[in-house]
Amino acid sequence: MDIVVMARALFGTSLGFHIIYATIGVGLPVMIIIAEVLHFIKKDPDYALMAKRWTKGFAILLAVSIASGTIVGVMISLLFPDFMEIVGQVIALPFQMEIFAFLIEAVFMSIYLYAADRLPPTLRLVSIISVALGATASAILITDVHAWMNTPAGFNITPDGEITDVDTWAAFFNPSFGVTAMHVTLSAYTTVAFLIASIAALRLMRRKISSAERTYHKKALTIALYFGALMSLATAINGHDTAQMLHEYNPRKLAAAEGLFETQRYAPLSIGGYTSLEDQRVKYAIEIPYALSFLADDRFDTEVIGLNEFPEELWPPLYVHILFNVMVGIGTVLILVAFLALFWKHVLKREFPNWLLAILVVSGPLAMIAIEAGWCFSCIGRQPWTINQVLRTEDAATKSNSVGFLFYLFMTLYITLLFVTGFVMRYYFKHNPVREDLEARGV
Amino acid sequence: MEASTLAITILWSLLFVYSILGSLDFGAGFWGMIYGKKEEKSAAQIANRFLSPTWEVTNVFLVIFVVSVVTFFPFATTLLGSVLLVPVALGILLLTIRTTFMVFQHHAGKYQDLLRLTSGFTGLIIPALLVSILPITLGGFVIFENDYPRLQYGELLTHPTLYMHILFGLSTELFISAMFLMDYAKEAEDWDAYDTFRKHSLWLGPISIAIAMLTIGTFPSEASWIVENIQQNWIAFGLSLLFFLIGYALLFVKKKDGHRGLARFAVIMIGLQYAVAIYAYGSAHLPYLIYPDLTIADGFTNPETFYQMLIVYAVGFGILIPAFILFWRLFLKDRRYLKQE
């Protein structure tokens, strides 16, 4: 197969694999902080146990997260050397800062993992807060490079490809940095909240659990629901800003996301369906009149640019509409689920019925699918460019013919690791059930 | 100093840090495997106790090194990326297996043997892959086809210098890690493990020096430029050897408590030995990143960006100093950690 396609496939799967663990790595320390703080305030040992058990899970996943992050960091230089040549001149700062954020996370994670029992409570809290700050800062800084690829700034390029007039801070604070960084952070927090909710709901669906266990899982579920409700709502509000950013700076991508061909005022929003090239519209979709114009710039008569304004070879693949819909659709479902569950708990004041628990069980995996769909949308929606309107992917990619063989090798690695992590998580938590921890405490 | 020279000096410093930390990390994995099954279990425990909290930090230094190469020398990425794609990709693949299995080992008790073997063997293979990058830079292994650089695998794999470099890397790794773990065992007052690692230091030391010297003799004919530079710079290499001899001699000093060896001073001397050697080798390597196709001046970014990156480095390491001190105290000083059962 074509080397460029293989290079993209290799990097794409590497990133797609890393995203799973990285997202958890960003969100889970925040959940651990919440549990630690609740324990600090309420002196309820259940929260201490929660922090301890989540930390164990975090330690297992962090190993994969760090290893796959190393792969992605090295691989991008190997597979897209001409891209890194520009990155090194223009947007090197966030890359370097990211390492230090990563270093802070690594140092304090070791401290929190292996020295927690030797630390005074405040220092322990400082450690886990440093882990969370390091992880979130890492995510924000790497997202900065991603944002810059979508809305490049801070340099000029001559026709023969020479980079001039570099302004590193203009590149750092490129137009989409703020909204995109927020989007990545908030959606990671959301996802982890729902993953925790999934696990707690799964445990609560079991018939044979003791009342102490039930109380424990209910507390975990409550934290997850509150945090999840808040964060999913914040993600949606920020997602709206992201769409408006696209409208202003990257209309080609917005047009592809919405399957809009003709530039128009009062543009309708198409939900669902697939973009048909022959019919020049989204087929089998629910159309909401005027809604796209309104979303793009808060006015019904906003003119939204369509794909036909651009030559067809500069269109991203039309299926990005589906990816976009999957992301937005799941995001919406998550908000509804979280608020429904909270309504059930606080207004109806009733136990969760099994059907609601079952929905909660699937909410975590769904959130992760939304994350993947979102990243795929953002990266595929930028095609054929690696740096929007500056560098084409085919010009950035390596020409080495070893890429194909490496692709299959790394695919094997990722699939194996997915199974092995799942297995180790199961093995560990099966051999160290909550029940035993609670019994050890004499409950 | 010129900006590009400063950049390459920082790079060699980072390489020094990673080669030491990496040697400790991979070496500890190897010693953990060797002593994991046997009677002398405490040696394995000492190795693992060091490895558990440090591997993440070591791993970050690898990433720092890679990112620094790419950001300081962006014009080098095309050549480096094309030529090093396969060895580096295989290296990180194995590193991933090693990292994950090492952590999983603590969480899946039943499978310890398999996991320990993995971390021990990768502790040899990964350094071998990484060190095989060095001969590639010497010249003669890269050709251009239609302006596109290709690594001559046939030439490389049949050249004795590759295997001498690998032997050099492995003997150094094991020597440095044995020396350090000896000192670490002393801090833990585990004299059994101390004797084990001292014993290994004694035979590995002279062997690593002998291999290092022999390796230079196997350099490919294209590398005469660096051999000349090394000969001109004999004072620095002599100084490095002197540090080795002092450090080695310190292993024999008998102390009042009956144990032989001034471990801490010996480790410092060996550290100096490698620091001097790496800088001397680095300066002999100038002005090339890869001979004869790429010099540091060709690869260097624009100086303004570079100076901003320097500020980031200064601030970054500045912020981290207290964290490193805390880390040192908790894992390399605290008796409660070192002597736990």
Beta carbons of B326 and A111 less than 8 Å apart: yes
Q: What residue of A is the nearest CA neighbor of B146? A: A399
* Set of chain A residues whose Cβ sits within 8 Å of the Cβ of B327: 107, 110-111
Preceding omega of A268 cis (within 30 degrees of 0):
no
pLDDT above 70 (res B109): no
Stretch 368-427 of chain A: residues touching chain B, C-beta under 8 Å: 398-400, 402-403, 406, 409-410, 413, 417, 420-421, 423-424, 427
- Per the rule left: phi > 0, alpha: psi between -120 and 50, beta: everything else, A390 is alpha
pLDDT, tens digit, for every residue of A314-337?
Answer: 888 888 888 988 998 899 999 999
Radius of gyration of chain A (CA): 23
Mean pLDDT (chain A) is 89
Beta carbons within 10 angstroms of residue A102's beta carbon: 26
Instruction: Report the distance separating Cα A126 and Cα A129, nearest Å.
Output: 5
**Three-state secondary structure string covering A163-192:** EECCCHHHHHCCCCHHHHHHHHHHHHHHHH
Radius of gyration of chain B (CA): 21
pLDDT of residue A233: 93
pLDDT above 90 (res A11): yes
Partner-chain residue, chosen from B96, B150, B337, that has the shortest CB–CB distance to A68: B96
Size of interface A-B (CB pairs under 8 A): 211
Instruction: Report the distance separating Cα A374 and Cα A264, nearest Å.
Output: 26
Asked if residue A364 lies in contact with residue A31, where contact means CB atoms within 8 angstroms, the answer is: no
pLDDT of residue A367: 95
A289 and chain B in contact, CB less than 8 A: no
**Residues contacting B200, CB < 8 A, separation 6+:** B31, B174, B178
Structural domains of chain B sorted by starting position, each given as residue range(s) with its CATH number in brackets: 3-316 (1.20.1630)
pLDDT of residue B41: 66
Q: Which of A158-162, A409-413, B233-237 has the lowest mean pLDDT?
A: A158-162
Q: Which residue matches tokens 């994350």?
A: A371
Beta carbons of B302 and A89 less than 8 Å apart: yes
pLDDT of residue B79: 86
- What distances in angstroms separate CA B292 from CA A400, B87, B157, B286, B289, one per listed residue? 21, 21, 20, 11, 8
A11 and chain B in contact, CB less than 8 A: no
Stretch 153-192 of chain A: residues touching chain B, C-beta under 8 Å: 166, 168
Chosen for mutation from B18, B64, B71 (greatest number of chain A CBs closer than 10 Å) is B71
Please give the average per-residue pLDDT across B127-151, as a whole number. 85
Instruction: Report the distance separating Cα A246 and Cα A236, nearest Å.
Output: 15
Q: What residue of B is the nearest CA neighbor of A104? A: B320
Strands A286-288, B294-295: pairing kind: unpaired
DSSP letter at B327 equals H
pLDDT band at A434 (very low <50, low <70, confident <90, very high): confident
Stretch 55-114 of chain A: residues touching chain B, C-beta under 8 Å: 56, 59-60, 62-64, 66-71, 73-75, 77-79, 81-82, 84-90, 92-93, 95-97, 99-100, 102-104, 106-111, 113-114
What ipTM score was computed for the predicted complex, to two decimals?
A: 0.85
Lookup: tokens for B31 = 């010693």
pLDDT of residue A231: 94
More confident residue, A277 or B299: B299
Q: What residue of A is the nearest CA neighbor of B86? A: A402
* Set of chain B residues whose Cβ sits within 8 Å of the Cβ of A81: 77-78, 80-82
* Set of chain B residues whose Cβ sits within 8 Å of the Cβ of A95: 67, 70-71
pLDDT of residue A1: 56
Q: What is the DSSP string of B114-168?
A: HHHHHHHHHHHHHHHHHHTHHHHTTSSSEEEETTEEEE-HHHHHT-HHHHHHHHH
A240: Cα separation from own chain's centroid: 16
Beta carbons of B74 and A97 less than 8 Å apart: no
* Set of chain B residues whose Cβ sits within 8 Å of the Cβ of A112: none
Lookup: tokens for A409 = 């090798």
* Set of chain B residues whose Cβ sits within 8 Å of the Cβ of A413: 93, 96-97
**Residues contacting A295, CB < 8 A, separation 6+:** A240, A243, A244, A269
pLDDT, tens digit, for every residue of A28-40?
Answer: 999 999 999 998 8
pLDDT band at B147 (very low <50, low <70, confident <90, very high): confident
B273: Cα separation from own chain's centroid: 13
Asked if residue A411 lies in contact with residue A193, where contact means CB atoms within 8 angstroms, the answer is: no
pLDDT of residue A310: 86
Beta carbons of B67 and A73 less than 8 Å apart: yes
pLDDT band at A152 (very low <50, low <70, confident <90, very high): very high
Q: Which of A52-66, A413-427, B162-176, B318-332 has the lowest mean pLDDT?
A: B318-332
Q: Which helix (H) or strand (E) holds A270?
A: strand A269-271
pLDDT band at B248 (very low <50, low <70, confident <90, very high): very high
Beta carbons of B64 and A108 less than 8 Å apart: no
Beta carbons of A400 and B319 less than 8 Å apart: no
pLDDT above 80 (res B37): no
pLDDT of residue A198: 95
Partner-chain residue, chosen from A81, A166, A406, that has the shortest CB–CB distance to B89: A406
Beta carbons of B57 and A166 less than 8 Å apart: no
Beta carbons of B100 and A63 less than 8 Å apart: yes
Q: Which of A181-190, A225-234, A256-265, B12-21 has the lowest mean pLDDT?
A: A256-265
pLDDT band at A266 (very low <50, low <70, confident <90, very high): confident
In chain A, % of residues over pLDDT 90: 39
Q: What residue of B is the nearest CA neighbor of A68? A: B96
DSSP letter at B219 equals -
More confident residue, B258 or B68: B68
Residue B98: closest CA among B40, B26, B35, B37: B26
Lookup: tokens for A93 = 């700062």
In total, chain A counts a number of residues equal to 443
Instruction: Report the distance separating Cα A168 and Cα A152, nearest Å.
Output: 11
pLDDT, tens digit, for every residue of A242-252?
Answer: 888 888 888 88
